[in-house]
Chains A and B, each alone.
Chain A
């Protein structure tokens, strides 16, 4: 009897635990996005140079790779994720300041576009409950190729290649949003801090790529 109850209650427990991860992830994600936006505002207000932005980005990524995985399972993961998102927000500040100076509507459109794409894709993954785990290899290869091409373009400086890469980043990040949301739903990701970090990076990269694409189309 007890055995039967345990078998019957397992899926319910699993569903409840998944719902808890989803709720905690979206709560933390919204807070980190606000914090990151505040850090970007500070960066703009301080008129931080591109060099300062790069240093903040490198510090954020180093923390993401080496500190977050060690702290994500404890309470210290929360200040770490805020530090990472703050640094990355500060890092993107000089770029946002540049586009604000060119045409503020580019930034507003990129912000709104990012929000619409994220909500639509998350909603799609949550309502259809499709399993996108098959996309892991494809997305990682796509990411690897984009970073390799970006590295080349630092030295080549081809505007068309930059535009093509930003378009590819929008597609790859859209794929990552679907993959990560589906991973939370299907129990692949049970740590809400790690899930927040993944979704935050996708949103940040999506926003940055949209800024570049819209900036390239701007006549000013």
Chain B
């Protein structure tokens, strides 16, 4: 086990501890999206996925 792995693991544990209360708060308090709202997110996301696949194919 090298120090780089231990340091990275410590950083990620710190991130999990930091994010957990914010995640709980966001789940409780964020508004629920309608299917129309989710469509507005899915469409650009599909475009991003397509673009990344294109980049991966060109490299």
Contacts and interface: CB of A to CB of B under 8 A. Distances in A.
Interface string A192-217: 00000000000000000010011001
Interface in A80-106: 103, 105-106
Nearest to A141: B23
A3 interface: no
Interface string A26-55: 000000000000000000000000110011
A51 B19 contact: no
Interface stretch (A7-15, A17-25, A71-79, A167-175): A167-175
B14 to A, nearest CB: 8
Contacts of B40: 128, 130, 132
B44 A210 contact: no
Interface in A153-192: 154-155, 167, 170-171, 174-175, 178
Contacts of B30: 133-137
A67 interface: no
Contact of B12 (A50, A133, A154): A154
B51 A113 contact: yes
Given A54-B4, A54-B7, A175 B27 contact: no
Contacts of B27: 137, 140-141
A134 B14 CA distance: 26
Interface of A: 50-51, 54-55, 57-58, 61, 65, 103, 105-106, 109, 113, 116-117, 120-121, 124, 128, 130-137, 139-141, 143-144, 147-148, 150-151, 154-155, 167, 170-171, 174-175, 178, 210, 213-214, 217-218
6 contacts: A51-B4, A113-B52, A139-B26, A143-B19, A147-B15, A217-B57
